[in-house]
Each structure stands twice: as structure tokens, then as C-alpha cells.
Amino acid sequence: MRDEDIIVLQEPALTAAERLYLPQIIDGMRVTLRHMFSVTARNRRVTQYPEQKNPQWIENYRGVHRLNRDPEGRVACVACFMCSSACPVDCIHIEAGEAPWPDREKYPVKFDIDELRCIYCGMCEEACPCDAIELTPHYELVSQSRAEMIFDKEKLLQVYEETKETKRRKNPAVTGYGLTGDQSKDVARPAAEPKI
Amino acid sequence: MPQIMNYDPADKTATPVDRALRSPGILLTAFAVIGVLTAALLVVLWLAFADTIKPVLASQFGFSVVLMVVLVGLILLSTAVCILAERKIAGFIQDRKGPNRAGFWGVLQPAADGLKFFLKEDIIPAQVDRPLYLLAPCISFGLALIGFAIIPWAGEIHWPWMAEGQTVTTQVASLDIGILYILAVGSLGVYGIVLAGYASNNKYSFYGGVRATAQMLSYEVPLGLGLLVVLLVVGSLRPEVIVNQQAESGVWNVFLHPIACLLVIISAFAENNRAPFDLPEAEQELVGGYHTEYSSMKFAMFFLGEYAHMVTNSALIVTMFFGGWHIWFLPNVDNTAWWAALLKFGVFSGKVGLFVGLYMWVRWTLPRFRFDQLMRLAWKSLVPIGMTLVVVAGILVALGWQRNWFASIGVNIVLLAVGLWLASRSRQPITGRQISLADIEVRPLQPV
């Protein structure tokens, strides 16, 4: 910041009519009057929710979470705790257990998300290496108690059932997971031994 | 490419009762039925008890009591309508619709609001000064209702069964000191806010209360001075004399003294803690200001007291400056039939409604005054103008020219010109920093 960078403004003083303030006030009131009586402007801007809803960017909207299923219908999560660690508010609680399927080590026995504590930032979705957890475009979340809003694994899978047509599971072709159900196909270590 | 989710556009969220309450046909029928039933009830009462009612209406006292009951009902009704009107007007100015869910066009919104206030939990904080805390909203609301007592709504009525030449006047109380009464009641209204701020045991409320008090006391002076100009011109404190003079000469006082009218309007806005002077209750500044600690019905009383005060001030301004019930093509002072009185009442109410609309229009147009700007405006702008106006009006009265339109308007124009010339000569800003944004020269930065 040099002396040459400083701009000195020559502020002109108010004229006599301007000091009265009334012309400006009346001018402003004329603008508001125009808006008060313009029915077309009003109808153009108003969305009567819930009969009309605004357009929504389905791919990017961060609404309620869901746990995806892989093409074989198993829950895609491998209980790696990446989402739980990435969450800024600690709203994800996972209990890992030994997976009943041969090609996977772990799976989540319990997967709870406290939807009231969640800030819907999407860090869990970004952190997940298996595209298991995703945020859906569903935002109309209503319940009658706080306990109802702690979504367990069944509820999250139910959200998946309800939204899997409207929002497809993102980019399995890129990540390579879930296409064949073979979780041991680690993209980073292609020569790894499959677990028995 | 944003896609629209496939929500069903059919209105599945409204219950049948909701849909019935929202349909215009059902609501209008309900209102019509209620109106017809009320009218039928009044007609039946009249036919049944005509002989007892007639002497009551013929006596000023009885008529005043009846008028008082009718007025209190009407004012409470108009306060409720103000709630809806404020929100609808605010919405329309801001390019959106106001409430339209609680009945078509939101007509049941005041009922919904009232129900909400009644059913809310009534919280009284532990450390408040209880008597004053509970008294404050009562003062605020009660005084706003009292102010209507001396307003002449419809001139004089001569009922057909009265003795020849006798009339009843459509005021609840016809006092010799009419306008002084309104000024006194308005000044007492400060107490409601003072006590609310003081008794709330909350420094932000206290701050708001103190600011509101200072503001209201400061703007009492220009209000009094502006009204004094009219009183000098009219020569009497009685509001019916003021209105009758305007009606008989056909020249409203606003055409005689527009600057005084402006002074009174601005002071009335400030008296009412109404935008752009609503700093004491601004949410961004002081949470709720002096009514932070009040919940449910007590808060509703402040709220409704503000609207009732607005209607009172509008009625005062209409009486003093805009001819009261007078309109040029309608019956005048000498017509004392009861139907003429109804017409005059309608005209008066219409004018008051217009002014209430002006209040709301200004609120949603102008930004808020900062507190020091507010006080500077009162003491350094409005009070000198008011004092000069009073002196000039006194000179006009001494010369006998007070109802001469040319003299009055000429004097006003001269005062305006002199005031503007004086203001433009002074180097000091009147209300804080004043920068004209018309043509500021900005030299762009030179590239490095």
C-alpha cells in the first residue's frame, strides 16, 4: 500500500433541495408504491409452497443421508470409519462387525446418524471410499420427537429405497467399487489378494 | 442442469378444514351470514325496545355511552385488521404476497395470531419488578384507547324524536380542552415504555426503554408546536370547532399550513415509535428493545397498543388538518340527519384508513434513523421550524389574516425558502454525515 494507491474522493455537499430530504423520501415512496401495485411482479416471484416447489439441483443437493446398496443388494459400507472421522459435529456412530460375506472384511453392525445434529456439509460423502454414504435431495424432514431423527441403518437403507430412482448412486464407473460386488478390487492396489 | 423433483403438485398437505377455510366462497358466505345476523339482531332490538332506546340516544350521556361501546369494538377490530394489513402491505411492497394461508387473502390471520397469543406460555422472569412489569402493557394499550374520546366522528346528529333544535354530538366527551386532552394522554403513553424497560431486569430492555423515552419526549415538542399553529388559526381547543371551521370554509388546514402538517405527521410517527423512528424496538439493535422480556398476551398488548396509537394519531391528524368528516360533495355541518352522520363517519374512517396506510407505506420505505440523528432532527430541525411557524401564525392572527389562504401559503413558501437558504449556508450537517452520491469522482488505480 503506497501513498499513490490512496484515492481521495471529492465528496460534493448536498444541495439545498437535497438537504430537505423530502424529495428523496417521496421518490422512494413512489418506488414502493409502484411495487405495491404491480401484480405481475408479485406473481412472478412467489412460489406457493407446498403446491409449487423451486427447481432443485439433484446431483449436488445436500439433504438427508442414505446408505447405498451395491448391485448385489448388500449394504455398500465397509465400516472404515472415514465418514465418522470426517464429520465436523460427530453425528455418525458406527459399530463394525465381521462381514458375513467372503469378499469383505468388515461391515457396519450399527450405523446411526443424528439428523438433527448433522450440519449437512457433505464431508462424509466426500470421505467415503466406497460411495456408500450419500446425501439425497430430500429436505422435507419432519418428526415428532428427537429420538425419531436418529436414523439407524434400517432407516438409512429405507431412504435409499425411496430415492434410488430419483438420484442414482454416484459415479461407480469412476470409483470402480460396487460394479461387480467385488470389494477387494482396490483401485490403489490392484494386485491385492482377495480375502477368503 | 437442474431438474425438478417429481413431487405431486396436488395439494395433499391441507386438511379438509384447511381447504374450507381457505376457499373464498365459504369464507365470504360465513362473513355475509354473520353480517346479516348482526343486522337482523340490531333491527329486532330496535323494534322491540324502541321506546327505551330513543331517550337514551336523545341524551348526550346515553349516546356517548353507546358511541363509546361501538368505538371500542371498532378500534379493537381495526387493530386486528392492522395486523393483517401491515403484513400484506409489507409483502406487496417487497414483491411478495403477504399471509394467504389462514383464509383466502389471509383474512383469518388476525384470528390465528390472537389464538396463538392466547395459547402461548406466559413467562414472567424471576427478578422483574412485578407490579410495574405487569402494569406497563396495560398503560400502553389503555392510553391508546382513551385518546379517541374527544374525536368528532360525524358532527352533530338530530334524531327525529328529539326536541326541535337539539342535537347530540358524536363525541364520547365534548371537552373544552379537547386537544390538550389528547396531548396529555399521549404524553402519559411514555410511561408504558419507561416502566416496561425499567421493570424488565434486562440491560438491553432498559436501554431500549430509555431511548424510547428520550425519543418520545423530544418529539412531544414539535408535535405541540405544530398543533399550536392550528389552534392559533382556529382560536379554540375544541376539536368539533376545528372540524366545523374547516367544513364551513371548505379549506382544510393542510392547505393553510402545510409545513405545520408535515411537522405534526413526522412527530406523530416518532411518538408512535414507528419507522423510520423505531430504534427502541429494532430487532437488529436491541433484540426486542423494551418488550424483549414480554411473552404472549403482554407482548400482544404492546403490539396492539402500538397499532391503536397509530389509529389515534391518524384520527388526530385528520381532525386537525384534513377536515375530519368533511368532503366537499357530501353533506356539511348544517345537515344533522342520522344518515348524513353515517356518511360522515364513513368519510372519517376512510381518511383514517388512508393515513394508517401512509404509516405502513412509510415504514416499509425508509431506513431507520440512528438515535443521534433522531434527536438531532427533533431538536435542531423540527423545533426551530415549529417555533418560527408559531411566531408567524401569531403575527397572522394579530393581523386578522389567519384564514386568508394567500397569506398563509405565502408565509409558508417564504419560510421554506428562507429555511433552505439558511440550511445551505451552514457548514455543519444537520443529521450526521451527509454525502451526496450524485457525482463522486473516482480515479481508478494506476496499474503497477
User: pLDDT of B414-447, one tens digit each?
Assistant: 998 888 888 777 665 554 555 655 556 666 777 7
Is residue A158 assigned to a domain? yes
Q: Which residues of A touch B105 (CB under 8 A)?
A: none
Q: What is the pLDDT of residue B436?
A: 59
* Residues B118, B141 contacting (CB under 8 angstroms): no
* Residues B385, B259 contacting (CB under 8 angstroms): yes
CB pairs under 8 A between A and B: 95
Work out the pLDDT band at A24, boundaries 50, 70, 90. Answer: confident
* Residues B237, B178 contacting (CB under 8 angstroms): yes
Could you tell me the residue range of the domain that residue A153 belongs to?
65-170
Calculated CA dihedral for residues B166, B167, B172, B173, nearest 10 degrees? -50
Closest CA to B244 of B350, B339, B155: B155
Contact state of A166 with B366 under an 8 Å Cβ cutoff: no
Q: Does B126 touch chain A (CB under 8 A)?
A: no
Write down the mean pLDDT value for chain B.
85
Cβ under 8 Å to A: B residues 415-444: 420-421, 423-424, 430, 434-436, 438-443
Q: What percent of chain A has a predicted confidence (pLDDT) above 90?
A: 33
Per-residue pLDDT at B7 exceeds 50:
no
For residue B423, give the nearest of A5, A11, A16 by CB distance.
Answer: A16
Q: Does A17 touch chain B (CB under 8 A)?
A: yes
Burial (Cβ within 10 Å: 0-12, 13-18, ≥19) of residue B365: buried
Q: What is the pLDDT of residue B28?
A: 87
C-alpha B337/C-alpha B261 separation (Å) is 31
Q: What is the pLDDT of residue B86?
A: 93
Q: What is the pLDDT of residue B394?
A: 93
* Residues B131, B122 contacting (CB under 8 angstroms): no
Q: What is the pLDDT of residue B9?
A: 42
Residue that wins the pLDDT comparison between A194 and B163 = B163
Q: Which residues of A touch B4 (CB under 8 A)?
A: 53, 55-56
For residues B129-140, give the mean pLDDT.
89
Contact state of A28 with B11 under an 8 Å Cβ cutoff: no
Work out the pLDDT band at A188, boundaries 50, 70, 90. Answer: very low
Residue A40, min C-alpha distance to chain B (Å):
9
Is residue A160 assigned to a domain? yes
Dihedral sign for Cα atoms in the order B390, B391, B396, B397: positive
For residues A28-55, give the mean pLDDT.
86
Interface test with B, best of A15, A32, A138, A165 (most B CBs within 10 A): A32
pLDDT digits (tens, 9 = 90+) for A131-159: 899 999 888 888 889 998 999 888 888 88
Cβ atoms within 10 Å of B126's Cβ, excluding its own: 6
Task: Specify the residue for cell string 429494532.
Answer: B282
Contact state of B445 with A33 under an 8 Å Cβ cutoff: no
Is residue A38 assigned to a domain? no
* Residues A173, A180 contacting (CB under 8 angstroms): no
User: In Å, how far are B35, B43, B51, B132 from B47, measured between CA atoms?
Assistant: 18, 6, 9, 48
For residues B358-380, give the mean pLDDT.
89
Long-range contacts of B345-349 (CB under 8 A, 24+ apart): B345/B153, B345/B154, B345/B170, B348/B153, B348/B154, B348/B315, B348/B318, B348/B324
* Residues B140, B301 contacting (CB under 8 angstroms): yes
Interface test with A, best of B92, B369, B382 (most A CBs within 10 A): B92
Where do the structural domains in chain B lie, given as residue ranges? Answer: 17-58, 74-424
* Residues B174, B244 contacting (CB under 8 angstroms): no
Q: What is the pLDDT of residue B8?
A: 43
User: What is residue B320's DSSP assignment?
Assistant: H
Q: What is the pLDDT of residue B3?
A: 41
* Residues B77, A20 contacting (CB under 8 angstroms): no
Q: Does B13 touch chain A (CB under 8 A)?
A: yes
Report residue B411 CA to chain centroid gap.
Answer: 29
For residue A56, give the nearest of B2, B11, B440 by CB distance.
Answer: B2
C-alpha B352/C-alpha B26 separation (Å) is 30
User: In Å, how far are A1, B351, B389 from B222, measured between CA atoms?
Assistant: 50, 23, 11
Is residue A141 assigned to a domain? yes
pLDDT digits (tens, 9 = 90+) for B391-416: 999 999 999 888 888 889 999 999 98
Work out the pLDDT band at B356, boundaries 50, 70, 90. Answer: very high
Number of domains present in the structure of chain A = 1
Residue that wins the pLDDT comparison between A120 and A163 = A120
Q: What is the pLDDT of residue B58?
A: 84
For residues B284-312, give the mean pLDDT.
80
For residue B284, give the C-alpha cell: 437488529
Contact state of A51 with B11 under an 8 Å Cβ cutoff: yes
Query: What CATH number did the domain enclosing A155 receive?
Result: 3.30.70.3270
* Overall residue count recorded for chain B in this entry: 448
Contact state of A166 with B6 under an 8 Å Cβ cutoff: yes
Cβ under 8 Å to A: B residues 67-106: 89, 92-97
Q: Does A24 touch chain B (CB under 8 A)?
A: no
For residue A5, give the nearest of B2, B420, B445 by CB distance.
Answer: B445
For residues A109-123, give the mean pLDDT.
93
Calculated CA dihedral for residues B328, B329, B333, B335, nearest 10 degrees? 180
For residues B245-255, give the mean pLDDT.
89
Residue that wins the pLDDT comparison between B257 and B293 = B257
| pTM for the whole structure | 0.81
User: In Å, how far are A69, A86, A112, A114, B160 from A91, measured between CA atoms?
Assistant: 21, 10, 8, 5, 80
Cβ atoms within 10 Å of B89's Cβ, excluding its own: 20
Contact state of B96 with A42 under an 8 Å Cβ cutoff: yes
For residue A28, give the nearest of B13, B96, B366 by CB distance.
Answer: B366
Contact state of A36 with B361 under an 8 Å Cβ cutoff: yes
Q: What is the pLDDT of residue A175?
A: 52
Write down the mean pLDDT value for chain A.
82
For residue A42, give the nearest of B92, B362, B420 by CB distance.
Answer: B92
Work out the pLDDT band at B193, boundaries 50, 70, 90. Answer: confident
